[in-house]
Structure 1
Amino acid sequence: MFRSCRTPRRTAAIAALVTAATLTAAGPVGAVPAKTLKVCTTGDYKPLTYRDPATGNYSGIDVDMARDLAGHLKERLVFVPTSWPTLMRDVGTPGTCDIAMGGISVTPQRQEQADFTQPYLADGKTPITTSRAAHRFQTVEQINDKGVRVIVNPGGTNAEFVRQHLPNATVITWPDNTTIFEQILQGRADVMITDAIEAKYQATRHPGLVAVHPDKPFTTADMAYMLPKNSRLTGGAVERWLGDALTDGTFQRAYDRWISTQDAPPSRGAEHELSARP
């Protein structure tokens, strides 16, 4: 008959070591692992979302709203870089993001692949060009001409508008939406079609540019926050949060903060968030 050679004292010591190792791996007794809120955002669409290439820090209206949502849910905030060409793929990839934020227009094509919250902003496509050329680009018919160089960032609703409404224009695709406006100022393009909120914002930041009739855009569309199909966040707490934010002044304060000031200060709590690597 086999008999253990461990003494009671040695057995107790081994049991203590096993217990200590288990607690170290699991964390302190009673600790609840914090959930992570993964927010996909392009970081190239001021004043709604912008990623500083030097620091990796995010800022903008929808970045402030993401921070408020994370605080409401009591979850750790992680920004996940995406782009307009890859946005729908990233949202549809399980585990990549819980929600996408940053000036995303609701379209039938996107609704087939993802869910949306209630709208939080109404906007539409309008031209941005130099103040000298504004009289030339008042209508779609004026812009839809081979002699007009229309610059566009790929993958989003700006590109879709150009494809549908400006087939005769000379189209210049520029991949970096953060530097696209300098191309107009430098004479490399004539005009860009974008959402009125971006056109107005960029015109105030680029002397010499003007948003053409932003209060009467060519189209109208709602912006909302996008969620993967069957997301844990669909409906429920997120809809209640957004409904409250639209009525209690939370969204209005974020909007005013970025529209009325050229360089808003960093949001409180930014030092606690993370940015996922591309």
Structure 2
Amino acid sequence: MNKASKLLASGFGIFLSTAALAADAGQSTLDEISASGELKVCFDAGYMPFEMKSKAGKFMGFDIDLGKKMASAMGVKYVPVNTAWDGIIPSLQTGKCHIIMAGMTVTAQRNMKVSFAEPYIVVGQSILLSPKLNGTIKNYRDLNDPKYRVVTKLGTTGDAAVKRLLPKATVNLFETETDAVLELASGKADAFVYDMPYNAIYASRHQGAVTHLDKPFTHEPLGWAVRRGDTDFLNFLNNYLSQIKGDGTYQRIYNKWFKSDAWLSQVQ
């Protein structure tokens, strides 16, 4: 083989390798879901009312119901993948699940790692306050003082909010929202900053033990996350969301978890 032929063969080999990589990159997760007959969904159980564990040991919540409806519409089995929050994006990236449906706030940093569908709900951070501070603390700005101990969950938008908006406060971070809010309930903290839906439910369950400043002080759209660049899956998700919002399915599920507290008795 002469030099020109070798160069041509080498170039053709590179072309084939590149084409193979492009084909792999272009395969949608929808193909994986169809082939396996399963929709594997990552979440971190413990975020009321989005994903929780019932007394019977089953997963339940707003995201769980939406995921089950989606799997049913796809004609596949819903497979829950309960994952620690700090490992949830790596779990998606490494194929342990097809999608994150976990009350995840769309942020610039997360969007560099995953692709988000259109937001399916918008929430924000609110404050659970020690009753001893009723009247003293009227909004988040009043907590921006070293004498106040503020707690929240590590790695969440609550974590980002207190660092950005309460730089002078004494901030303590916890692995779970349960551990963080317990610090407040036991009198070891002055305030707990977290997503408004969770705080509203906690306040209703512990009336008198905490005060809820329920006006959110951040704007946080929540979105379903998929692996970067999967335009087919994103197209499916956006169209599916539009459909269930149009036919009333979304509203019925929303009302079940946000307009009623009948489910509270089932939670661990």
| TM-score of Structure 1 vs Structure 2, range by shorter chain | 0.7 to 0.9
1:258-273 matches, within 5 Å, as: 258-264=257-263
1:69 aligns to 2:70 (yes or no)? yes
Q: Tell me the SS of whatever aligns to 1:194.
A: strand
Q: Is the 8 A contact 1:120 1:246 kept in 2?
A: no
CA contact (8 A) 1:36 1:76 kept: yes
Return 173-182 or 154-163, whichever deviates more: 173-182
1:184 partner amino acid = L
Q: Aligned equivalents of 2:59 and 2:126: distance in 1? A: 26
Counterpart-to-counterpart distance in 1, 2:251 and 2:164: 33
Quote the Cα distance in structure 1 between the aligned partners of 2:154 and 2:170: 15
State the TM-score, normalizing by the size of structure 2. 0.78
Question: 1:112 maps to what in 2?
Answer: 112
Residue pair 1:106, 1:222 contacting (<8 A) in 2 also? yes
Matching residue of 1:155: 155
Unaligned runs of 5+ in 1: 1-31, 268-278
| 1:117–1:224 contact (8 Å) kept in structure 2 | yes
- Does residue 244 (structure 1) correspond to residue 246 (structure 2)? The answer is no
Q: CA deviation at 1:114?
A: 0.6
Does the residue aligned with 1:152 lie in a helix, a strand or coil?
strand
Q: Could you say if the C-alpha distance between residues 266 and 238 of structure 1 is closer, same or farther in structure 2, counting changes exceeding 3 Å?
A: farther
Tell me if 1:81 matches 2:99.
no
Equivalent residues of 1:84, 1:154 under 8 A apart:
no
Q: Is residue 86–residue 155 contact of structure 1 (8 Å, CA) maintained in 2?
A: no
8 Å Cα contact 1:114/1:226 also seen in 2: yes
Residue type at the aligned position of 1:237: F
Residues of 2 paired with 1:55 and 1:168: CA distance?
A: 43
Pairing 1:235–2:234 present: yes
> Which one of 37, 40, 51 corresponds to residue 38 of structure 1?
40
Task: Say which one has the larger Rg.
Answer: 1
- Shift, 1:181, TM fit: 2.6
Deviation at 1:70, TM superposition (A): 0.8
**RMSD over aligned Cα atoms:** 2.4
Alpha-carbon spacing, 1:212–1:80, altered in 2? closer, same or farther (3 Å): same
Moved more, 167-176 or 107-116: 167-176
Question: For structure 1, which segment, 224-233 or 188-197, has the greater mean C-alpha deviation from structure 2 after superposition?
Answer: 224-233
Q: From the two aligned structures, give the one with the greater helix fraction.
A: 2
Cα distance in 2, alignment partners of residues 83 and 74 from structure 1: 28
Runs (5+) with no aligned partner, structure 2: 1-33
Q: How does 1:1-278 map to 2 (within 5 A)?
A: 34-52=36-54, 55-93=56-94, 95-208=95-208, 209-214=210-215, 217-231=216-230, 234-264=233-263
Shift, 1:136, TM fit: 3.0
Identical columns (%): 26
Letter in 2 for 1:250: T
Change (3 A) 1:134 1:259: farther
